[in-house]
Amino acid sequence: MNVADLATLLAFFGCPAVAGLVAARQAGWFTILFVVLGLAVGFAAAVGVHKLAYRLLEACLHPVRGLSGMALLFGYMLVPVMAAFGAMVVTGWSTAWLVRHAL
């Protein structure tokens, strides 16, 4: 498994997990609704992270020299994982906001 696939799976499974954990404290039986919505958000985030990661990987494969090649490789290893964690944080915050204001 490469970093691109790891970040994709992290976004896909992480968003519903975070939504369920955040909603479980206050939403009660509505938690399953937030998990299903988190799955939809996780799918969208996973598609975006997947495209971003493979574009960075494709940019790394072109022959570049010196620091630019190392910067691209470092970006490939770091940016998709950070995007997946960002999607999870945004999902958690939006779930908490929805639970407080909608229920």
Q: Specify the pLDDT at position 100.
A: 87
Per-residue pLDDT of the chain (103 residues; tens, 9 = 90+): 788 899 999 999 999 999 999 998 887 788 899 999 999 999 999 999 999 988 888 887 777 666 777 788 888 889 999 999 999 999 999 999 998 887 7
Give the residue extent of every domain in the chain.
3-102
Phi–psi pair at 65, nearest 5 degrees:
-120, 155
- pTM value is 0.86
DSSP string, 54-81: HHHHHHHHS---THHHHHHHHHHHHHHH
Place of tokens 């999607």: 87
Q: Report the amino acid identity of residue 102.
A: A
What are the structure tokens assigned to 101, written together?
A: 């204001």
Cα end-to-end span (Å), the chain: 40
